[in-house]
Amino acid sequence: MSLKKEIGRRRTFAIISHPDAGKTTLTEKLLLYGGAIQIAGAVKSNKIKKTATSDWMEIERQRGISVATSVMGFEYNDLMINILDTPGHQDFAEDTFRTLTAVDSVIVVIDVAKGVEPQTEKLVKVCRMRKTPIIVFINKLDRPGKDAFDLLDEIEKKLELKVTPLSWPINMGQYFKGVYNIFERSLYLFEPNKQRVEEGVAFSDLANPELKQYIGNDAETLREELHLAQGVYPDFRVEQYLSGEICPVFFGSALNNFGVKELLDCFIQIAPTPIGRETEERHIDPQEEPLSGFVFKIHANMDPNHRDRIAFMRVVSGRFERNKPYHHVRLNRKLKFSNPTAFMAQKKSIVDEAFPGDIVGLYDAGNFKIGDTMTEGEILHFKGIPSFSPEQFRYVENADPLKSKQLAKGLEQLTDEGVAQLFTGRATGRKIVGTVGALQFEVIQYRLLHEYGASCRYEPITLYKTAWITSDNKAMLDDFKLRKASYLAYDKEKRDVFLADSPYALQTAQEKYPDIRFHFTSEF
């Protein structure tokens, strides 16, 4: 099959939500449609439960599961669909941000009763910045929840998205009758716990009195609400969805397998095929023959006898082939892979080739960092895989003087994996670990000990935020560095970082030094 055809049959996306909205359940139902799994309950939740913070083995076990479920591929109607899983736990938000760089679209799941929750807001903000096409699935209609208009209003306000409903709920909770599918102009009737594929009843004229036979007294309400909705929301236009201007919304119940097939059928019609990516050098089109790809996730092998890791590479252009030497741009070295892995449902299998939109798992003994680029020789650096300014900080100290080398190596590699960020104080030389969540400190300590034989202890540091600093005004930058010497650090790439110990310190620095730019993501 030609490269163009292979690209045309791929859809790569992520499902994002606040924990408990139903991401795992929806993923599972999609896999059932794809025939990738046979029974419900087969997809293990990738949730790291809040209660697990003190249970190391539980974290490790769950991390193991998350490798298996990191990418789930399945075929549906001759298409190759790749779902990239994202950890629900907010302490792993940065992992999720990076995964979003590797997808072409997302489905956002919202709980009808809870509405827009904080984690959803954060993740959608990242999608908005990148203009990623978004479909919204409002879940759990079998339970009482918010009124559809109020909810759409909340989505528009809190998520700053323009929406257009493609289905409309008919009542909810114990009175839930189903949805009217605006996209297909058909009626889907709800029966709880139905695991078979539901068929819609074509119903293009809602004024038809027969509507009452299907949904009783809700018929009039449906007519009124749809009439109102048509006045309020714009017509769906696929170009506007693809450019990230408007989000189609579906209603359903993942647990009851209701509304999922319609979502999938609409998704495969409208969702983007693999799109190109920007590099510092130029735009890369997926149809270019030479291979290019970037690493967006690295996962340590759970088996202590095998120290290797899996680097997840998104293929951006060309055809990836097993055993063919590729150019590792940062190391300026050729590498070839004898057992690259593809992920079909929960199974890993060796692949001979992969195409744009695919994720390949590359076994790695320490050659890869997040953001690394592979090509056929061209020097390219993909953009858009930033690190974010961490939110929690601790000094990390060596607790076993005989193992300082192991500690240095462990910290280096774990931070390459993106578990945390590492800064070094300019004045003190002390190492500072920055993370987006408290759980990471525990994960690092545990993994240093179990994977590298190194012990560390943490000491508190009063730190509000770190900001990368740059300026065209050299005199001002030098003055700043001199005066703030004890608040300066450098990151792993030796770039200058300002350590602000309070919001006030950051604000006064920004006011006093107007020519200095303070960056809160590593890409500037």
Pick the binder of ligand G4P from 82, 101, 139, 421 (CB under 6 A). 139
Of 3-11, 12-20, 167-175, 338-346, the segment contacting ligand G4P by CB under 6 A is 12-20
Q: How far apart are CA 16 and CA 482, in angstroms?
A: 44
Pick the binder of ligand G4P from 8, 40, 44, 45 (CB under 6 A). 45
Pick the binder of ligand G4P from 86, 105, 253, 406 (CB under 6 A). 253
Interaction residues for ligand G4P, span 382-441 (CB under 6 A): none
Interaction residues for ligand G4P, span 74-103 (CB under 6 A): 88
> What x-and-dash track marks residues 266-285 binding ligand G4P by CB under 6 A?
--------------------
CB of 3 closer than 8 Å to CB of 355: yes
C-alpha angle 220/222/225, rounded to 5°?
110
Pick the binder of ligand G4P from 9, 14, 16, 22 (CB under 6 A). 22
CB of 260 closer than 8 Å to CB of 33: yes
**Minimum gap (Å) between residue 27 Cβ and ligand G4P:** 8
- 145 scored as a contact of ligand G4P (CB under 6 A): no
Bridge partners of 347, per DSSP, are: 344
Both tokens of residue 262?
């319609």
Contacts of 209 (CB under 8 A, 6+ apart): none
- 321 scored as a contact of ligand G4P (CB under 6 A): no
- 19 scored as a contact of ligand G4P (CB under 6 A): yes
Pick the binder of ligand G4P from 23, 261, 314, 465 (CB under 6 A). 23
Pick the binder of ligand G4P from 25, 120, 421, 440 (CB under 6 A). 25
Bridge partners of 135, per DSSP, are: 107
Sequence-ordered alpha helix ranges (H) in 69-108? 93-100
DSSP 317: E
Which residue is it, tokens 């092998």? 301
- 143 scored as a contact of ligand G4P (CB under 6 A): yes
- 47 scored as a contact of ligand G4P (CB under 6 A): yes
- 48 scored as a contact of ligand G4P (CB under 6 A): no
Q: Which of 424, 372, 419 is nearest to 396 (CA)?
A: 424
- 136 scored as a contact of ligand G4P (CB under 6 A): no
Which CB, 122 or 319, lies closer to ligand G4P? 122
Cα 517 to Cα 221, 222, 422, 429, 468, distances in angstroms: 55, 53, 21, 24, 8
- 164 scored as a contact of ligand G4P (CB under 6 A): no
Say if residue 517 is exposed, middle or buried (CB neighbours under 10 Å; 0-12, 13-18, 19+). middle
H/E run at residue 406:
helix 404-416
- 21 scored as a contact of ligand G4P (CB under 6 A): yes
| 470 conformational bin, left if phi > 0, alpha if psi -120 to 50, beta if neither | beta
Q: How far apart are CA 396 and CA 461, in angstroms?
A: 10
Of 32-40, 231-239, 251-259, 448-456, the segment contacting ligand G4P by CB under 6 A is 251-259
Pick the binder of ligand G4P from 142, 262, 372, 442 (CB under 6 A). 142
> What is the contact surface with ligand G4P in residues (CB under 6 A)?
17, 19-25, 45, 47, 88, 139-140, 142-143, 253-256
